[in-house]
Structure 1
């Protein structure tokens, strides 16, 4: 940040696309924070001052106005959210003895980057003498202040947050991938605090992200919840992603802090859909048109498959040919089936020969090996056939029947799947449908360019092969599916 406020920057009320302010605000603790910041040479832009004012807004009894509903911020990348929130939190620690703060991100890498950034902040002249210690132990970092206040950093994927008590401030970074379980683990840590403050901040979630918690925070803000704050920066949904006016609309730090070069770099490297979410703050429209009902899918999760039956496998590759997925299905005489991912490997590291070797070894015990005629995986058909594998090649009509069959079996509780197989879970969450022909048939499609549905396609084709094939090889009483390592 520069040493002077840029007065030409917009106010928060002008910069935010959505702004929900809680009821009953009488005072704010930000005035004191700003005075301390001024003394040590840190000056906020006007929209940053607005965030600080709302973050520390209080009712007449001294409790934070958003203590019940929390504070949610949907802020684009390259806007300066870590500096803005981090500076406010550091100064709050300086001015409030024995304050306990936990700053948690989903990923270890993000947590480490935030810790590094905050270290640089507390080492600034005027702040360093108040820092008692900076500790890094087993992935749980801490900044300790001379007055007893502490900021602890950690990644939720490593279980950080459980077991703490009387936490005064919780910051959920990467809130777009904050799960209900992580929330349940961490929120109780603030129950014993006298005046807790809970902050969610992130970018709009992708279709494959577990974004329900952050989406619920947004829904409360859009509904004008009187006990919560919601701040959302974003461009128009129909904007031109290469238009600098859209960049300025979404990012109040553009162009005086976030340069055009930085925006162009993100546009080139993130891809269209990711850029719209992460750089322009554009939320996807409601995704009720997702193909597979999440509740039915969750109900079908079964850790152990039943013995017996027969196995079919199928191969699919995404259009970019980055990896290859082998889906598996175990079908039974009673008409039920169990699907899983048998293997998934990247092409760059493992090449394209491994699926042939994988399936040739298992072919004597398989009912079918399936590849769709429109899949890039058709390149594997000649070497498979040359090795003696009888490949079933599905048509558009077959694909329509296969997708319909999967949904019908889910509906009637005839289909089970192994739980928590991440590639399959992400594919299911990000799958919609595309029309096939004129008879009402459909195939799987994806909600965005950053969604890979090939694991779902492979599992669907494996189900098709298991159900339609009449081949019953071997006399083994049980055929074991190959699990994803």
Structure 2
């Protein structure tokens, strides 16, 4: 970062899209930090000073105003967050002997990059003499100061953070990928500290990210939690991603520090959707709840599917076994697909035997019939096999791939669905995600007790069957999609 403050840079109140300030602030420790920084020839922009003032804001008893609720920052890439937060933390270490700081990222690569940036910072003239040692062992890095203060760096994916005690400052970098388990492991480490600071900073999470923790921080900020700080930078949801005005709205470092070429490079290499989240700070609508973006789902609706392709079907039942859904998918050689509900009937009126005859009649023209191993619909597998149908039974790994495939195809406009199918629309609107294993896979879950996601599960599995099956039966040039009675 440059050493001269640009007086034309915006204040935090002008730059932040959302700003929640805790109640009862009487002072801030940032004044001391700024004076030390100036002696070291380090200068902050006005919005960075605002962040520092809120980070170190105190109440009358001397405790940090955000000590209970924490500090959350939804901050875009290429804004200088490591410089801003890192400089403040380093100076706090210099002025508070024995301070213990944990800086943790989700990925090893991110942790390593942060450590490298912080090494460069402490090697600046005036700071180097206060640095006792820089250590790197077993994937855990440390900057140790002559006065006993320490900053430890590590990746949560490697288990870093467990076992520490009396930690004064915890920084959760990449907070959009912060799991409840990691939070539970690390928050108790600050319980013995006299005046702890807990900082969450990241970009808006993707639907597949375990972003619930970060989203909860955001919800608290939006609801004006009196004990927490929430700072959110972002452009308008409907902005043109190539518009420099949107870049300036989202990134207070643009254009005096973050140059246009850097933004264009991100736009070209990230793709528009990732660029909206990571460079423009735009949160998905209801991303803290819904798994499927309602805008993408609406864009994928179509009255008629295109001709051709091959058909697969899948069966699912909700846990209460009140009805049975048969989902259908028409897949095409160009990699696109169309999903629909083929049939949906109540068990009380129609029983459980009707799918056998329904699918047996159509099996000669189907590429696959799919049922998930965890579904109550597994009771249909023996009679379906007895009817000569080769049922594909999916496991957890298959479900993870199927759900990820559906989201990806929606994102890249490769998937359509029949417009006006209310059960499927309701399922898509009411679906959350559940984690499968530790590798980032997920399956559909429901948001509330009144939501039935079995139509979504059935069509997702039908898509999986259509894409993965090599069976192409029949000589007909076109196979007809079964319409809902």
Residues 304-453 of structure 1 mapped to structure 2, 5 A cutoff: 372-374=330-332, 376=334, 400-401=341-342, 413-414=376-377, 417-418=395-396, 423-424=401-402, 426-427=404-405, 434-436=416-418
- Note closer, same or farther for the CA distance 1:462–1:112 as it changes in structure 2 (3 Å cut): closer
Q: Identify the residue that residue 303 of structure 1 maps to in structure 2.
A: none
User: 2:55 matched to 1:97?
Assistant: no
Question: In 2, are the aligned partners of 1:103 and 1:172 still within 8 Å (CA)?
Answer: yes
Q: Identify the residue that residue 38 of structure 2 maps to in structure 1.
A: 38
Q: CA deviation at 1:462?
A: 5.8
SS at match of 2:25: coil
- Note closer, same or farther for the CA distance 1:438–1:20 as it changes in structure 2 (3 Å cut): closer
Q: Identify the residue that residue 220 of structure 2 maps to in structure 1.
A: 220
Question: In 1, are the aligned partners of 2:402 and 2:463 still within 8 Å (CA)?
Answer: no
- Note closer, same or farther for the CA distance 1:241–1:412 as it changes in structure 2 (3 Å cut): same
- Note closer, same or farther for the CA distance 1:439–1:164 as it changes in structure 2 (3 Å cut): closer
- Note closer, same or farther for the CA distance 1:454–1:261 as it changes in structure 2 (3 Å cut): farther
Question: In 2, are the aligned partners of 1:57 and 1:65 still within 8 Å (CA)?
Answer: yes
Give per-residue Cα distances to partners, 1:296-320, cap 9 Å, x unaligned.
xxxxxxxxxxxxxxxxxxxxxxxxx
Residues 456-471 of structure 1 mapped to structure 2, 5 A cutoff: 459-461=461-463
Size of the alignment, in residue pairs? 377
Q: Identify the residue that residue 268 of structure 2 maps to in structure 1.
A: 268
Residues 121-270 of structure 1 mapped to structure 2, 5 A cutoff: 121-270=121-270
SS at match of 2:342: helix
- Note closer, same or farther for the CA distance 1:246–1:98 as it changes in structure 2 (3 Å cut): same
Unaligned runs of 5+ in 2: 294-311, 322-327, 346-354, 356-368, 379-393, 432-439, 445-456, 474-485
- Note closer, same or farther for the CA distance 1:220–1:430 as it changes in structure 2 (3 Å cut): farther
Question: In 1, are the aligned partners of 2:10 and 2:47 still within 8 Å (CA)?
Answer: yes
Give per-residue Cα distances to partners, 1:176-201, cap 9 Å, x unaligned.
11011111111111111111000000
Q: Identify the residue that residue 3 of structure 1 maps to in structure 2.
A: 3
SS at match of 2:166: coil
Question: In 2, are the aligned partners of 1:166 and 1:193 still within 8 Å (CA)?
Answer: yes
Q: CA deviation at 1:19?
A: 0.3
SS at match of 1:400: strand
Q: Distance in 1 between matches of 2:143 and 2:332?
A: 55
SS at match of 1:48: helix
User: 2:78 matched to 1:78?
Assistant: yes
Q: CA deviation at 1:418?
A: 2.3
Question: In 2, are the aligned partners of 1:290 and 1:430 still within 8 Å (CA)?
Answer: no
SS at match of 2:252: coil
| TM-score, length of structure 2 as denominator length | 0.69
Q: Distance in 2 between matches of 1:252 and 1:141?
A: 30
- Note closer, same or farther for the CA distance 1:242–1:31 as it changes in structure 2 (3 Å cut): same
Q: Distance in 2 between matches of 1:441 and 1:222?
A: 32
SS at match of 2:229: strand
Q: Distance in 2 between matches of 1:372 and 1:396?
A: 5
| TM-score, length of structure 1 as denominator length | 0.69
Residues 16-27 of structure 1 mapped to structure 2, 5 A cutoff: 16-27=16-27
Question: In 2, are the aligned partners of 1:427 and 1:452 still within 8 Å (CA)?
Answer: no
Q: CA deviation at 1:401?
A: 3.3
SS at match of 2:224: coil
Q: Distance in 2 between matches of 1:175 and 1:276?
A: 17
RMSD: 4.1
- Note closer, same or farther for the CA distance 1:167–1:427 as it changes in structure 2 (3 Å cut): farther
- Note closer, same or farther for the CA distance 1:119–1:420 as it changes in structure 2 (3 Å cut): farther
- Note closer, same or farther for the CA distance 1:149–1:68 as it changes in structure 2 (3 Å cut): same
Q: Distance in 1 between matches of 2:416 and 2:371?
A: 17
Q: CA deviation at 1:373?
A: 3.1
SS at match of 1:199: strand
- Note closer, same or farther for the CA distance 1:138–1:72 as it changes in structure 2 (3 Å cut): same
Q: Distance in 2 between matches of 1:427 and 1:195?
A: 46
Q: CA deviation at 1:175?
A: 0.4
Question: In 2, are the aligned partners of 1:445 and 1:453 still within 8 Å (CA)?
Answer: no
Question: In 2, are the aligned partners of 1:427 and 1:453 still within 8 Å (CA)?
Answer: no
- Note closer, same or farther for the CA distance 1:147–1:291 as it changes in structure 2 (3 Å cut): closer
Question: In 1, are the aligned partners of 2:399 and 2:461 still within 8 Å (CA)?
Answer: no
SS at match of 2:341: helix
Question: In 1, are the aligned partners of 2:315 and 2:377 still within 8 Å (CA)?
Answer: no
Question: In 1, are the aligned partners of 2:57 and 2:64 still within 8 Å (CA)?
Answer: yes
